[in-house]
Amino acid sequence: MPDDPDETAEATDADLDAVAENLYGVLPDDFIAERDAAAARARERGDRELAKAIGRLRRPTRAAWLANLLARHRREQLDGLLSLAAGLADAQRTLDGAALRRLSSTRNQLVAAMAREAGRLAMEAGDPAAESVLRELQGILDAALARPEIAEQVRSGRLTRTLSYTGFGPDADPDAWPMPAVREAPSPQSPAPTVEADPAEIERAERERAERARAERERRERAVAEAEAEEDAARAQQHTDEDARDAAVEARDAARDRVAELIAELDTARDRERTSTASARDAETAARASARAAGAAATRTARARARLDEL
């Protein structure tokens, strides 16, 4: 009875999940070799669909690998950082400048601390991270704080891309007004209070900073997209070549089986030939003996007739 397609698909998904869980825990430089070995094992078991699915797993960038390290080994701290997202979103929507500045400061401190921790984990794993990669990791964490879907990718521990966020957070509530900063009344001896920056000015400064970073981010994203396109093309060619190889192997095995069958048939025919040759030889010997016996009998008959005629 054939396997249930749904059960087969579920088994493939479970096997793929187990393979992915292992792969995204290895060093980036070991990823391709480990992935190809896992695909080869699946192919040897006859599970070509699983082998193809494993082959489509992407190697993580260095920064994505660092984020995966945090998700695997510092999950509690990572969740604590990402929990700031709701407060940042509320402060942005309500134009609460004081809360936004306070949370932004906390965010920056925690993001920097998490990047340093990821650097320590990478060092322990035997693959130290460069400062540029740690900065890319901070960009990933900032993006996770701004976008829930990116946060989920980071939490999965299977991130493959270096993500960044070039927006300015959630849209502000149209009915919201900037909340004034709370100021303490100065004492007679204290100097005049420092004027707090207007939230609109803060937003404009943030926008200018983001605009300056946008061009560089877009350039890097284009480079990543081009690299991924090349990888996809190479992976597609790999799959085509693997399919051709599998077909060739199947044809070769079928040919070998046929050769084995023909050799067996030839051996049987040779056995029959040897048996028939022996039988023919024996029959020839018997026929010659019979001919000699018949000749001798004919001679005796002739002699007997000659003696009879003498009477």
Q: Measured between alpha carbons, how far is 143 from 166 in angstroms, rounded to an integer?
A: 8
Task: Select from 11, 100, 88 the least CA-distant residue to 47.
Answer: 11
**Structure confidence at residue 20 (pLDDT):** 92
pLDDT of residue 201: 66
The pLDDT of residue 135: 93
How confident is the model over 82-126, as pLDDT tens digits?
887 776 655 555 555 565 576 667 778 888 898 999 999 999 999
The predicted-structure confidence for 159-171, as pLDDT tens digits, reads as follows 999 887 654 444 3
Report the C-alpha gap between 78 and 73 in whole angstroms.
9
Burial 106-134, CB ≥16 within 10 A → b, else e: ebeebbeebbebbbebbeebebebeeebb
pLDDT of residue 307: 86
Percent of the chain exceeding pLDDT 70 equals 73
Tens-place pLDDT, residues 129-172: 999 999 999 999 988 888 889 999 999 999 999 887 654 444 33
Task: Say what the pLDDT of residue 42 is.
Answer: 92
| pTM beyond 0.75, yes or no | no
Which residue positions in the chain have pLDDT lower than 70? 1-12, 87-100, 102-104, 165-205, 217, 221, 224, 228, 232, 235, 239, 242, 246, 250
pLDDT value of residue 168: 42
pLDDT of residue 138: 92
SS3 187: coil
pLDDT at 7: 54
Query: Domain residues of the chain, as ranges?
Result: 13-59, 60-173+205-233, 249-311
Which pLDDT score, from 0 to 100, does residue 119 have?
Answer: 94
Cβ-contact 157, 70 below 8 angstroms: no
Q: What is the pLDDT of residue 260?
A: 80
